[in-house]
Amino acid sequence: MSDNVTLFHQYLTAFNERRFDDIAELIDPAIIDHHLPAEVPVGADGVLYWLRLLADTMAIHVENVQTVDAGDIIAGHGWISGTHVGDFPGLPATNRDFRVAISSVERFEHGKIVERWETFDNDLLMTQLTGSDRQRPRCIV
């Protein structure tokens, strides 16, 4: 296993265990996260804000199923699951459980995540959270 794969797995474990100080050590201060909504600050402060928001409001757990090692690029695929326990911007708490597939790509430089992309089925997530595939509220997930 390459160093970058090890760092990627450490990042996921730190998130699942809510060790945000460890995450701060794994990401570059100027990280570019292409998944963050425009309202979220850029850089490490924005990433940490977003991860704490997800942990506090969605009680998210990440299960990595597959990792692809392409040197400085690591791709992961798996599941996010949890319970919507807190008010998330645009969506009051529903206390509903969810589980959707997720894919992410992380780019590393000098032992830090410097850039990341993430995609998941937002429509399926919103259907699970609201119980309807019609008239869902706008949510910034």
Residue 136 has pLDDT above 90, yes or no: no
Contact between 113 and 7 under an 8 Å Cβ cutoff? The reply is: yes
Which carries the bigger pLDDT value, residue 132 or residue 58? 58
pLDDT of residue 135: 47
Q: pTM for the whole thing? A: 0.90
The domains found in the chain, sorted by start residue, are 3-130 (3.10.450.50)
- State mean pLDDT over 88-109: 94
% of the chain exceeding 90 in pLDDT: 84
- The residues, any chain, with a CB within 8 Å of residue 8's CB and separated by 6 or more, are 67, 74, 76, 106, 113
Cα(27)–Cα(11) distance, rounded to whole angstroms? 9
Residue 137 has pLDDT above 80, yes or no: no
pLDDT of residue 84: 96
